Amino acid sequence: MHILITGAAGMIGRKLTARLVKDGALNGKLIERLTLIDVSAPPKPEKFSGKVETAAADIADPAADEKALASRPEVIFHLAGVVSGEAEVDFDKGIRVNLDGSRALLEAIRTAGGYRPRLVFTSSIAVFGAPFPDAIPDDFHTTPLTSYGTEKAIVELLLADYTRRGFLDGVGIRLPTINVRPGRPNKAASGFFSSIIREPLSGEEAVLPVDESVLHWHASPRAAVGFAEQLSQAGFEPLGVEMSELLKGGGSVKCCTLEVYS
């Protein structure tokens, strides 16, 4: 099997790469080749006996996408994106990477001809809009409150339509905030949730910029990788009939609703 990961230099990308290398197989097939791309070339994984290609690539560039897909990877993990706070501050950058980049990748797949990979897209719970209930059901309205959420919601619709048309086999995961992110804080609007745990452990002060009564949804990096890996595989039957039918049509689901990962 050949696997392509966009955004492979990011935290989830690196951890997903490590998980795949450790497992050695996906969906019962030996992983023989990995193609890892990001705006900065991702590091090559250690202890992988197969072929690894890493490259600095802009997914908004059709030529870069065409090159990444030339060998027709069977599974694509589309993780590349500009985080929430950065997309809000720099509207043009958010649109170019999150929306235009995703559409360029989808178009490269469509125009390849005779090629239908499984594509796992990391969406976000930012596609939902207030007021929020204590538990968000799968049919809760998607009225995003940010540019980031809007970009993710648009890509979800494109993913569903490209799947309906038979151009690819796509599924999206609406990830919550991933805690705890290692290293320095990134520009995600929810990054302080990692900071209030990570910084005190290093003896540093951290500021909680919201009221203590605020409720939020979280997943660990390990769980997020598990969600992506599971949804890259063939069947959705463990999720139930209704969810399976939704995903076969290119739907997107919240990670926290998937009991199979408990």
Containing H/E element for 109?
A: helix 102-112
CA angle 223, 36, 48 (to 5 degrees): 80
Place of tokens 């139930």: 240
Q: Tell me the C-alpha distance between 222 and 58, whole Å.
A: 27
Radius of gyration, CA atoms only, the chain: 18
Q: What are the residue numbers of the active site? A: 148
- Which amino acid, one-letter code, is at 48? F
- Which amino acid, one-letter code, is at 185? P
Q: Tell me the C-alpha distance between 76 and 37, whole Å.
A: 11
Q: Are 230 and 259 in contact (CB under 8 A)?
A: no
Q: Are 75 and 35 in contact (CB under 8 A)?
A: no
Buried residues in 211-247 as b, exposed as e (16+ CB within 10 A): eeeeeebebebebbbbbbbbbbeeebeebeeebeebb
Residue 204: CB atoms within 10 A of its CB come to 9
